Amino acid sequence: MSESDNIKSPLNESQREILQRARELRPTEPPQPWGSRKIISASGVLAAGWDQAGKILLVSMDGYSLSDPNTGERLVRDRDRGKTYAAMVFNNLRFQSPETQELIDIFGINGGDGIHRTQDGWTLKKIYPWWPEEAVILQPPFISSAGNYPLIDNAYLIKLIRLDGWLKCGFSPSGQHFMIVGSAGAEVFSR
């Protein structure tokens, strides 16, 4: 018997059950209506967000870009590092667009978090079933008659194609898209 076998888990029984259920999830495509996936490749991504028009902002170590969430097409690409870093405001939780002066809430490696619930009840969560590896689950709208909100029930562990390492996730303000972001870019899903 090894020394680690004698270490008591800090998790209580309920937490151990949730962890076991999370570990039983298998990566899959999101359910309908989330049928469209676009991959936006980028390297060194630090943060992401949605502008007022619903375009995707990716901020990287060497500039920023704006992309169309429906097509994945890059609409703006600015490689000016100085201008990009100057546009990061409010403790790196907002980006002020150099073109429009719009303040865009961002989330990424240095902080912030995306929108995790749509108005119609879809939920995104980052989980760690095999810590330190991160994963993202999507849960459809759920109504509990008992008043409890299950952490893993009806969850879809999102199969990632291009991303690994650190992850952040969030819905667009309209609730029509969600993205999962990592240092290699973003995977965007649309209704």
Would 24 be classed as within a structural domain? yes
**Are 93 and 73 spatial neighbours (Cβ–Cβ below 8 Å)?**
no
What is the reported pLDDT for 2? Answer: 52
φ/ψ of 25, rounded to 5, equals -65, 145
Domain range spanning residue 26? 12-190
Establish if 37 belongs to a structural domain: yes
| Separation of alpha carbons 121 and 46, rounded Å | 28
Is the residue at 76 inside a domain?
yes
Split at pLDDT 50, 70, 90, the class of 143 is: low
User: At residue 159, what is the residue type?
Assistant: K
Indicate whether 49 belongs to any domain: yes
pLDDT in tens, 68-124: 999 999 999 999 999 999 999 878 789 999 989 999 999 998 878 899 999 999 999
Is 1 contained in some domain? no
Among 136, 182, 140, 135, smallest CA distance to 39 is for 182
Please give the tally of structural domains in the chain. 1
Mean pLDDT across 17-33: 94
In a domain, 139, yes or no: yes
Is residue 79 a part of any domain in this protein? yes
Q: Is residue 6 part of a domain?
A: no
